[in-house]
Amino acid sequence: MVTPQVSIKNLNFFYDSTQALKDITIDIPKGSVTALIGPSGCGKSTFLRTLNRMNDIIEGTRVEGTVEIDNRDIYAKDVDIVKLRKQVGMVFQKPNPFPKSIFDNVAYGPRIHGQKNRAKLQEIVEKSLVRAALWDEVKDRLHTKGTDLSGGQQQRLCIARTLAVDPEIVLMDEPTSALDPQATSKIEDLISELSGRYTIVIVTHNMQQAARVSDYTAFFYEGEIIEFGKTKQVFTVPQKKQTEEYLTGKFS
Amino acid sequence: MVVSRKSELPIFWLMRIVTYLIVLVTLYIVIDIVVGGLPAISWEFLTAMPQRSGTMGGIGPVILGTIYLIGGTAIIAIPLGIASAIYLAEYAKPTRFTNLIRLAITTLAGVPSIVFGLFGLGLFVLLFGLGTSVIAGSFTLACLIMPTIIVASEESIRAVPRAFREGALALGASKWQMIKTQVLPYSIPGMMTGSILGISRAAGETAPIMFTAAVFFTRSTPTLTKPVMALPFHLFTLSTQVPEIEKVRPMQYGTALVLISVVVGFSLIAVLVRTYYRSKYKW
């Protein structure tokens, strides 16, 4: 296996007294695409949100165990959460562009991190939109509202916005579940393109999608990782009975 | 269009009639004041000093006094109210204590204004030694309208979608950056609505300024640290303290008309701010 960028050890997660994640231990390799699959409510989104500490904003949650990114525990006391989220970007299930112009959407991150130089911002915005495969569609109307774009474009805008702060890891929480098949395939192409440069962790309900875009797959069930391995292996020769049953549609 | 069922019609009509009734009553009052007050309005009336207990002369300093009071109240109440709302909506943990604070605020909104007047007299005028002055009156009025502003502002802050907040936080915004860029711009219209309601109420109140800021007559031009004449109080004394009531009738109407105009004027500023933010930050 390649060097792990994210190393999770004995991770337990609680909403008040309900345990949502049970003793999760996996290593996520650098530059790879890792898909998290499993039935609804199995904890895959919760797990994703532990990687950039987005669960912190929910009252009454508790984390045990360690999540190390580049050998540093992100739950340690001295961690700067701003820096962490800059390093670990996130794309949400429902495209959530801000009701600002396309330019301002992408420039939002760099701006809050202190970039004021207009030319520099311009450069970042263009580079990010190019990487998110949206540039050609919007380059002539950067000052129209991001919310006026189509759903698929909005999601790519959100990806561009995430890339603009130059993250190393990009978390995607069912990024195509609100999109039509065409927009979905564009996003999938984009994910393949971005892999290598970024470490991508993607939650998906769509098993074909997991098979298409990911290098590694983790199968979650009732808060536990039942199986984790190379996607090809998990999909063709699953080691666990539950994985096989899920993949063949025996339960969902 | 969906046709209402027969059984719903009476209720429907009842609502319609009630609405018309309210509009009618409001219109009647406004028209009565405008018709009665317009003849009294003149340049002299708007600028001159009151003479002979307000039966002659104008209400210049009285208008100015009210503008000072409302301005002072707005400067104190709006920032404090919005700050409390931000704290309650974004920072305060939902403990029993914060619930208690909320309960206190909503209760305050229902306290009679005379109680605020006496409270202001005790705290600002006497204890803080501000004396009967514009400052003391503004603080008292601010206490009176802060609950309205806080409640409205908190509602509007909470109405900002979670996706806006999460989007900002996920990009590494600090909590305050998130609030400043993704919450406040979108909740300002709601805050302004609360402020309009509050300011309009403050402008018309007599009881809270009776002991804290207003006097029936003073020669000095309004300053922050002195007692002032104010429109509602002036109207009150014109209506109760002057023997020949018929003679001052035009003065009363004129004062009422000016008071309403001042209130509308202040509301208009808030409406403009609201419209600006609504169009700029549409969502």
pLDDT tens profile A16-49: 889 999 999 999 999 999 999 998 888 999 999 9
A112 interfacial to chain B (CB closer than 8 Å): yes
Tokens of residue B172, six digits: 């590494």
Q: What is the H or E stretch that residue B251 is in?
A: helix B249-280
Tokens of residue A252, six digits: 């969902």
Which CATH number goes with the domain that contains B180?
1.10.3720.10
Q: Give domain status of residue B48, yes or no.
A: no
Q: Does domain A4-247 have CATH number 3.40.190.10?
A: no
Confirm if A48 and A230 have CB atoms less than 8 A apart: no
Tokens of residue B216, six digits: 């029936």
- Kindly list the domain boundaries of chain A, sorted by start residue: 4-247
Indicate whether A233 pLDDT > 80. Answer: yes
* pLDDT of res. A3: 76
Nearest chain B Cα distance for residue A170, angstroms? 10
ipTM surpasses 0.95: no
Structural domain harbouring B246: 61-280
Q: Give domain status of residue B21, yes or no.
A: no
Distances (CA, A) of B117 to B120, B194, B206, B210, B225: 5, 22, 9, 7, 18
Check CB contact under 8 Å for B169 and A89: no
Please, what's the b/e burial string for B230-268 (b: 16 or more CB within 10 A of its CB; e: otherwise)? bbbbbbbbbeeebeeeeebebbbbbbbbbbbbbbeebbe
Mean pLDDT, chain A, integer: 91
Chain B residues with CB under 8 Å of A110 CB are none
pLDDT tens string B235-247: 888 888 777 777 7
How many C-beta neighbours within 10 Å does residue A133 have?
18
- Total-model pTM: 0.82
pLDDT tens string B16-34: 999 999 999 999 999 999 9
d(CA B186, CA B178) in angstroms, rounded, equals: 12
Q: Which residues contact A228 (CB under 8 A, 6 or more apart)?
A: A26, A216, A217, A218, A219, A234
pLDDT tens string B145-164: 999 999 999 999 999 999 99
d(CA B205, CA B207) in angstroms, rounded, equals: 6
Coil/strand/helix, residue B248: coil
Nearest chain B Cα distance for residue A108, angstroms? 8
Q: Give domain status of residue B14, yes or no.
A: no
pLDDT tens string B240-271: 877 777 778 888 899 999 999 988 888 888 88
pLDDT tens string A123-180: 999 999 998 989 999 999 999 999 999 999 999 999 999 999 999 999 999 999 888 8
* A90: nearest CA partner in chain B: B170
Check CB contact under 8 Å for A96 and B163: yes
For B127-150, what is the mean pLDDT? 92
Give the number of domains in chain B. 1
pLDDT band per the 50, 70, 90 thresholds, residue B3? low
pLDDT band per the 50, 70, 90 thresholds, residue A63? very high
For B160-187, what is the mean pLDDT? 92
Q: Give domain status of residue B43, yes or no.
A: no
* pLDDT of res. B242: 75
